[in-house]
Amino acid sequence: MTNFINFITVARIFLAPIILIFLIFGNYFACVLLFFLAGLTDYFDGYLARKYNAESQLGEILDPIADKILIVFILIGLSVDLDSFLIAFLGSLIIAREIGVSALRDYSSRNNKSHKTKVTYLAKIKTSVQLFSIGLYLFALAFSFNLLIIIGDIFLIIATLITLYTGYEYTLNVFKK
């Protein structure tokens, strides 16, 4: 069962560039459908792992990586497609935070500090708000509902603030230990 669950997670990683390609070529409806499918993989890999007690170290590593790849690929595509400085700027902050946290994890593990940090509730909220804002943008493009772009901007700003705060929290926790 663990291999199947990890396969579901890996499928999300492969969906990210496919969504980006559809975004580049303006097939927004396909983007919405594939993004929804990616969301389902995110839900079901965690659900099945907990239900069947099939959580694995590989899954713990792959799941957040899959989320980050999905978010980064689509934010890059959206910033280009919508010609949006705001999405590009906020996306850059989100990417910088993820790189910074990854570097801190590496530093922590190399210096015999506990690098096994449980995902906080706020970090889960961060990912959810990031994904929600992306969903709003994709839905706006697919159905020509421009008001959702403004709402997506608001949620992406909120997501970025949460992202930066959780990065700050993580930094404090690494150097506190």
19 and 34 Cβ atoms separated by less than 8 Å: yes
pTM, full prediction: 0.92
94 and 160 Cβ atoms separated by less than 8 Å: yes
- Any idea what DSSP says for residue 35? H
pLDDT digits (tens, 9 = 90+) for 44-96: 998 999 999 999 989 888 999 999 999 999 999 999 999 999 999 999 999 99
CA atoms of 1 and 86, how far apart (whole Å):
42
Q: What CATH number is attached to the domain comprising 140?
A: 1.20.120.1760
Instruction: Calculate what percentage of the chain has a pLDDT beyond 90.
Output: 79
Residue 132 above 70 pLDDT?
A: yes
- Domain range enclosing 129: 2-176
Residue 115 above 60 pLDDT?
A: no
CA atoms within 13 A on the CB side of 138: 27
**Domains held by the chain: number:** 1
Number of helices (H), then strands (E), belonging to the chain: the values are 6, 0
